Chain A
């Protein structure tokens, strides 16, 4: 059975297990679903006063909101890549003894990360919704295509990293380095304009245009067609590649 067919056939199951995992995480503490949002709020409140002076002087954006969106965006990417190392190791026995395919766990994790992103986003949006309901609604509507692209990006990242981790036993040692480089190469903290002439190279980082699309939607209420089409182009290239990689990925031998 090919991977796309398997994804569709099992979608009710991985949608449910991803959702159930997020519910089970939330049930562990009184603050539950508020935790991801709270941790980002804490980070922003510490970093914003500091970095706004260094990285964002004379910007058209409100740097606190700029940073907030960057960190919300990055948290899903970061967790997806980090978890692709651990969650696969945890399911090795099942992968070797049932017909469940690795892509099942990737899809489950994408659902889990997406729910976490929604919870964090709602944590910030709901209070402001009472103040500027129409503005926020407009931003949310504009950002819907970018949310969909984001979900597919999470899938691509998980697939590529999963393939590398199961194919090369020592690749996992490089994952923290990759994450660090990716974080610094993506304008999460800094404004692209601060890069000067190097700014044009950001287009080669698939994560940068998508982040810009989100920021334009929420901060300027503007649908960035450039960001949208560049992101779609990346999807057209990487979705088939990631499906191919995941179908070729070996099942891990537990004895390794």
Chain B
């Protein structure tokens, strides 16, 4: 099988917190780098579905950011056979002052959906799915948290992407919407050929993944089948 993602000896550390005064100080006086990723060697083949397990601060999100090319490694190389679509954010890229319609339009332009569909069709599909027709002229900041999440979900979980990197998916509003959202998410994940999914939900991981990686202190400490990875994680996190 051809590799979709290859990480070779990848190291990453967030930059030092520099300040004007620290320019005058030697390097050891600076705050320590945090959330480091060290010595990651990993190959994910085309069509593989990988679960990423680990406690908070273990480096899962940073690894997903690296795989998605949001961050560049401090050293080492990352190869991806096609662009990785990251689903990591929990907010809109636009200001919350914009109305629902303006926000949908901004995503329409940013994701270049104008190459595949008309704005009117796209707007209707998002409003229909999120059920926000009545609130379409309200600024996003005036929506309830549930409505806001419905809108975000409807915008982001759309289209087909070859490689997906997903972090701990957010809750999706009320019960009625939750069922609809689960169905959409299932279809969305099925369309992708390669998937890296970080979650604490065993059932979600079992539904979509066959391989499991366990991370601790920025390192992959286990790599195997999902069942073995879940057992390893439970044993070592207890």
Contact = CB atoms under 8 A, between A and B. Distances in A.
Contacts, number: 85
Q: Which among A10, A24, A100, A167 has the highest number of chain B CB atoms within 10 Å?
A: A24
A182 to B, nearest CB: 18
Contact of A168 (B14, B20, B35, B93): B20
A24 B17 contact: no
Contact of A93 (B34, B90, B94): B90
Nearest to B21: A170
A169 B18 contact: yes
B105 A170 contact: no
Interface string A6-31: 00001011001100110111000000
B20 A16 contact: no
B102 interface: yes
B91 interface: yes
Contacts of A23: 102
Interface in B119-168: 139, 167
* Interface of A (DSSP majority class): helix
A233 interface: no
A94 B18 CA distance: 22
B95 interface: yes
B97 interface: yes
A203 interface: no
Interface stretch (B67-75, B190-198, B209-217, B224-232): B67-75
Interface stretch (A124-132, A136-144, A152-160, A248-256): A248-256
B122 to A, nearest CB: 14
A91 B93 contact: yes
Q: How large is the interface on B (under 10, 10 to 19, 20 to 34, 35 or more residues)?
A: 35 or more
B88 interface: yes
A24 B102 contact: yes
A256 to B, nearest CB: 6
A241 B106 CA distance: 29
Contact of A97 (B65, B94, B114): B65
Interface in A163-219: 167-171, 174
A99 B106 contact: no
Given A10-B110, A250-B15, A17 B89 contact: no
A251 B106 contact: no
Nearest to B95: A21
A169 B19 contact: yes
B170 to A, nearest CB: 12
Interface of A: 10, 12-13, 16-17, 20-21, 23-25, 90-91, 93-94, 96-100, 104, 167-171, 174, 250-251, 253, 255-256
Given A16-B106, A97-B70, A99-B68, 20 more contacts: A12-B109, A17-B95, A17-B98, A20-B98, A21-B97, A24-B102, A24-B139, A90-B95, A93-B91, A94-B93, A96-B65, A97-B90, A97-B167, A98-B86, A99-B69, A100-B110, A167-B18, A168-B20, A169-B18, A256-B17
7 contacts: A96-B70, A97-B88, A97-B90, A98-B93, A99-B68, A171-B19, A253-B15
